[in-house]
Structure 1
Amino acid sequence: MTSKAQATDLLEGYRTGAISPVEATQDALDAIERYDEQVNAFVLVDAEGALAAAKESEARWHAGEPLGAGDGVPTSIKDALWTRGWPTMRGSTMIDEHGPWDEDAPCVARLKETGAVILGKTTTPEYSWKGVTDSHRYGATGNPWDPSKTSGGSSGGSATAVGLGMGAWSIGTDGGGSVRIPAAFTGTVALKPTYGLIALYPPSAFGTLSHAGPMTRTVRDTAALLDIVTGFDVRDWSAMPTPATSFLSGIDDGVAGLRIAYSSDLGFVDNQPEVEALVRAAVDVLADAGAEVTEVDPGFSDPVDAFNVLWWSGAAKVLSAYTVDDRVDPGLRRVAELGSSYSASDFLDATQVRMELGLLMGRFHQSYDVLVTPTLPITAFPIGQDVPDGWASPDWTSWTPYTYPFNLTQQPALSVPCGLTSDGLPVGMQIVGPRHADALTLRVGQAYQAATDWHSRTPTLEAR
């Protein structure tokens, strides 16, 4: 079985002939058939097209002429990114599924150019607006470790797909934690890269908070996928130049001598005790590997009010194009109404907070190479609700305090699995680097995974 193999291992197997892209694709499709009824990770699966693409890939590998570094890798795409010929419904009942759907998002185009096998599209909440994955259109997505729990969101379908071997890797989006939240809840790996490193088109209504990001089982696969999906695209006015160096270069250089700041709570967060203990133990692993670890807070207060102004304003912009009725997520309706009440001055005040936070973190990283925190203060809670039982706030941002600050600052932030609680639920550690230090951020994550085996633990979901 290859369904839970790393993409980098699949590619080596293709090169040697030990593994076939057709075999790997069929195994991924078998996993979808076996598990997806329980977890609802996919909104569209094109088995026929995937197998046809896999056969073409197999022929290229046999000829010694692969298209690129992802040729034949079974891949899924979050249903928030355009895919030519397939509808992108974004979990919404308001979008016309007839299209036209005649363009690929930049990262989807890069994947196709490298020969990746696109299996289908994964679930997302309506317009990716919240930190869990459910919608009126497609229902809720369950966690690979316990389908009665949420996968997180908004890229929950992608995280669950990767976690259950429904393809080796996926591309999600992250406007406030949307690849890192589900990675932490599902025991997978995800990177929100420096803003602009992965071009986005069409632009998000949530503006420059929104990033695309790779979602995989290992840090090495994350770096390999990042190599593929980065690249300048004229359709994105803020796209960075195509990187000149592979993100795999230097990934095994370790952490000896690196200055790592560890903040257990950013100075304002309450963690579940097991989450805090597991992340602290993970930081000890980095110290044992030679890093100079200092326990220190960056020194900012919770920027949630500023983030909410920007995010709720985006929600209002999303809904402004439609006649809104009860088919729209009630939470989205609620925050869009709040967003429509903000003034331009409110928006600029929030932007000022954002700029000050960016300045603070820029100076912080003059003293520390990376910052390590929990990815989330909690573990996965029951499926189909926006917040845990008995939670004081209805807002998803109330339980994601470690993720959205770094959308405001546009820094790279990586979530890696660092343990399982006593009830068998995954916990994530977040590694935050300075802007443009994506390779360094990945290097720290790789050093942790080289010393541990949490990334190799897989859920034992029984097929029905």
Structure 2
Amino acid sequence: MTEPQIGQPSQDSWPSAEPRESAGHLTRRSVVGALAASAVVIPSTRGVAAQGDPSLLDGGRLQAGYGDRSLSPVEVAKAAFARIDALNPSVNAFVFVDRDGAVKAAEASATRWQKGKPLGPLDGVPVTIKDNIPWAGHPTRKGSRTSADGPSPESAPVVSRLLDAGAVILGKTCMPEFGWKGVGDSPLSGITHNPWNTKVTTGGSTAGGAAAAALNLGVLHVGTDGAGSIRIPSSFCGVFGIKPSLGRIPAVPAAATLHVGPLSRSVRDAAALLQTIAGADSRDMTSASAPLPDLLGTLDNGVRDLRIAWSPRLGYVKNLDPEVEAITERAAKSFSDLGAKVEQADPGFPDPAPILDPIWLTICWTAVRSVPEAKWGELDPALLALAMKGRSVSAADYGTALAARASLHAAMGRFNQNFDLLLTPTLACPAFETGHNTPPDGRFGDDWLNWAPYTYPFNLSWHPAASVPCGFTKDGRPIGLQMVGPYLREDIVFRAARAYEQAHPWPLTDVVKRG
């Protein structure tokens, strides 16, 4: 959120054992039938090699193909662009692509693989980055017509680390203006459409990254999350996305609640990305110097004996869509079958919206203040209105919010003495119609906090939190389950997400549904 800065469905892409169909519990047959009827295609990446399309392979399979020379990074990069050419016009995920640069990077990667000297697990893997992340030599427009279109003078740490690891950056993805809202449209690039249903929002603000991840327009996608901007679109688009602990991946320019993190179809691929790009940077005062746990080495350790809390309302959420509640509750309770100890419990803090408000409004004002006043008429009017409120936030109000934020961090620390993991719905509703900042039926009022009450508390508290696909509404809209781990314990979140992914593989979309 606000950050400065048609074929046949695949049977093996849905869990093989679904005991019954009930409210919020759809059988594989009913979901596949509904999606097929609405012209959504859900082939799995399983068995893609036989289909001969390298653009659908995950990072692990690409690495295996590069290693045995059955695949070339150049072949994969060109296939990725062919896929972008075919599908991006329907979803508008990219603000620009860098064909020449990507092919040159792929050629260099191919040479390293031929010599048997790859740089690591991302060498030759196609990735995208969000358009608020500086990439030297390319514009950083942040979804705004008011931003300079000249090249950025330097790359953010995450981009430098991707390039140093041999990743092939395909381009930059669309976002709402300055990342100010949780839906996917901007004055610069227009609406980014949800691949599962182009009539509903992708969520935001990592809108293009989530749409690209859902369609495998690149294997890995780097986003940012100031109050839910990775997890909101991950939930709406049916992909995995994680906001690591604040500072785990340095952000330059830094911001009060900004977390950099990956989105992908695969938990393992996201772990490989985070393992590669994490680490302190002297330009970000919040960057964490504590070593990152071995994510890949512990990924398949499972959840046996983990103490897991299921909190459907966090103790204060008043409005939760019944279908979302049923789907996420079933997913949360399924961890008992995997050996975890699951009980319903709330983390014990009151609604932190009053903490967020002065911080959020100040961030909006800071973003708008960077724009020459003569250009304010080109801004999203709703962003400008929030910025004017932020202009009047006092230093005392801002300082009080920071102190309360520290109390929230402490409350989660106490909670984690009794629980290893917190599960909640990622969002209070499914994706709603494009062209609206809140559901147009009025159920959640006109404040985005009412439909996204679960994400921002953990930006304020600094804790790692992921959204994991856990089911679909009856009309085929994806639903996400949020997993929140202890501070600096991303390994626990990844273990839980991987265990759920293995027990309940999520369907993958391959062709856009034109709503």
- After superposing the two structures, state which structure 1 stretch, 283-292 or 175-184, moved more: 283-292
Give the letter for the 1:457 counterpart.
L
Which runs of 5 or more residues in structure 1 are unaligned? none
1:104 aligns to what?
A: 155
Residue deviations 1:366-394, cap 9 Å, x none? Answer: 00001000101111111122111033533
Whole-angstrom distance in 1 between the partners of 2:432 and 2:178: 22
Helix, strand or coil for the counterpart of 2:252? coil
Give the letter for the 2:381 counterpart.
P
Helix, strand or coil for the counterpart of 2:305? coil
Relative to structure 1, is the Cα distance of residues 377 and 244 closer, same or farther in structure 2, using a 3 angstrom cutoff?
closer
Give 1:225's match in structure 2, choosing from 256, 266, 273.
273
Pairing 1:257-268 to 2, within 5 Å after superposition: 257-268=305-316
1:4 aligns to what?
A: 56
Q: Does 1:140 align with 2:188?
A: no
Q: Does 1:57 align with 2:106?
A: no
Whole-angstrom distance in 1 between the partners of 2:510 and 2:382: 31
Whole-angstrom distance in 2 between the partners of 1:158 and 1:244: 24
Relative to structure 1, is the Cα distance of residues 296 and 244 closer, same or farther in structure 2, using a 3 angstrom cutoff?
closer
2:325 aligns to what?
A: 276
Q: Percent identity?
A: 43
1:348 aligns to what?
A: 399
Whole-angstrom distance in 2 between the partners of 1:433 and 1:154: 22
Q: Is the 1:75–1:116 Cα contact (8 Å) retained in structure 2?
A: yes
Q: CA deviation at 1:245?
A: 4.7
Helix, strand or coil for the counterpart of 1:3? helix
Whole-angstrom distance in 1 between the partners of 2:120 and 2:91: 32
Q: Does 1:197 align with 2:245?
A: no
Q: Is the 2:126–2:219 Cα contact (8 Å) retained in structure 1?
A: yes
Q: Does 1:396 align with 2:448?
A: yes
Q: Does 1:68 align with 2:68?
A: no
Whole-angstrom distance in 1 between the partners of 2:127 and 2:189: 20
Give the letter for the 2:229 counterpart.
S
1:253 aligns to what?
A: 301
Residue deviations 1:204-243, cap 9 Å, x none? Answer: 3xx2x11101111121111111011112222112212273
Q: Is the 2:122–2:273 Cα contact (8 Å) retained in structure 1?
A: yes
Helix, strand or coil for the counterpart of 2:297? coil
Give the letter for the 1:202 counterpart.
P
Q: Is the 1:267–1:299 Cα contact (8 Å) retained in structure 2?
A: yes
Q: Is the 2:144–2:187 Cα contact (8 Å) retained in structure 1?
A: yes
Q: Is the 2:293–2:490 Cα contact (8 Å) retained in structure 1?
A: no
Helix, strand or coil for the counterpart of 2:298? coil
- After superposing the two structures, state which structure 1 stretch, 80-89 or 42-51, moved more: 42-51
Residue deviations 1:293-351, cap 9 Å, x none? Answer: 01111122211122121011111111112215221011111111111111111112222
Whole-angstrom distance in 1 between the partners of 2:327 and 2:267: 19
1:285 aligns to what?
A: 334
Q: CA deviation at 1:194?
A: 0.6
Q: Is the 1:285–1:451 Cα contact (8 Å) retained in structure 2?
A: no
Whole-angstrom distance in 2 between the partners of 1:377 and 1:423: 17
Q: CA deviation at 1:17?
A: 1.9
Whole-angstrom distance in 2 between the partners of 1:245 and 1:282: 26
1:20 aligns to what?
A: 72
Q: Is the 1:230–1:242 Cα contact (8 Å) retained in structure 2?
A: no
Whole-angstrom distance in 1 between the partners of 2:150 and 2:300: 47
1:333 aligns to what?
A: 384
Relative to structure 1, is the Cα distance of residues 244 and 312 closer, same or farther in structure 2, using a 3 angstrom cutoff?
closer
Whole-angstrom distance in 2 between the partners of 1:244 and 1:372: 22
Whole-angstrom distance in 1 between the partners of 2:218 and 2:462: 28
Whole-angstrom distance in 1 between the partners of 2:421 and 2:411: 14
Q: CA RMSD in A?
A: 1.6
2:364 aligns to what?
A: 315
Relative to structure 1, is the Cα distance of residues 253 and 62 closer, same or farther in structure 2, using a 3 angstrom cutoff?
same
Q: Is the 1:412–1:433 Cα contact (8 Å) retained in structure 2?
A: yes
Whole-angstrom distance in 2 between the partners of 1:348 and 1:232: 26
Q: CA deviation at 1:163?
A: 0.7
Whole-angstrom distance in 2 between the partners of 1:321 and 1:76: 26
Whole-angstrom distance in 2 between the partners of 1:185 and 1:310: 26
Q: Is the 1:68–1:113 Cα contact (8 Å) retained in structure 2?
A: no
Whole-angstrom distance in 2 between the partners of 1:442 and 1:125: 28
What is the TM-score normalised by the length of structure 1?
A: 0.96
Q: Is the 2:463–2:484 Cα contact (8 Å) retained in structure 1?
A: yes
2:289 aligns to what?
A: 241
Q: CA deviation at 1:94?
A: 1.6
Give the letter for the 2:71 counterpart.
I
Relative to structure 1, is the Cα distance of residues 221 and 116 closer, same or farther in structure 2, using a 3 angstrom cutoff?
same
Which runs of 5 or more residues in structure 2 are unaligned? 1-52
Q: Is the 1:8–1:224 Cα contact (8 Å) retained in structure 2?
A: no
Q: Does 1:40 align with 2:88?
A: no
Helix, strand or coil for the counterpart of 2:314? coil
Q: Does 1:149 align with 2:200?
A: yes
- After superposing the two structures, state which structure 1 stretch, 384-393 or 334-343, moved more: 384-393
- Per chain length, whose mean CA-contact separation is higher, i.e. which structure has more relative contact order (CA < 8 Å, sep 6+)? 2
Q: CA deviation at 1:462?
A: 6.0
Q: Is the 2:293–2:491 Cα contact (8 Å) retained in structure 1?
A: no
Whole-angstrom distance in 2 between the partners of 1:361 and 1:167: 35
Give the letter for the 1:12 counterpart.
A
2:483 aligns to what?
A: 431
Helix, strand or coil for the counterpart of 1:326? helix
Q: CA deviation at 1:459?
A: 4.6
1:215 aligns to what?
A: 263
Whole-angstrom distance in 2 between the partners of 1:27 and 1:342: 50
Whole-angstrom distance in 1 between the partners of 2:105 and 2:237: 29
Give the letter for the 1:40 counterpart.
N
Q: CA deviation at 1:46?
A: 1.2
Residue deviations 1:68-88, cap 9 Å, x none? Answer: 221100110000100011000
Give the letter for the 1:414 counterpart.
A
Helix, strand or coil for the counterpart of 2:449? helix
Give the letter for the 1:286 counterpart.
F
Q: CA deviation at 1:267?
A: 2.0
Give 1:422's match in structure 2, choosing from 466, 469, 474.
474
Give 2:411's match in structure 1, choosing from 332, 336, 360.
360
Whole-angstrom distance in 2 between the partners of 1:375 and 1:27: 33
Give the letter for the 2:79 counterpart.
D
Q: Does 1:303 align with 2:335?
A: no
Relative to structure 1, is the Cα distance of residues 287 and 173 closer, same or farther in structure 2, using a 3 angstrom cutoff?
same
Whole-angstrom distance in 1 between the partners of 2:420 and 2:470: 20
Q: CA deviation at 1:251?
A: 0.9
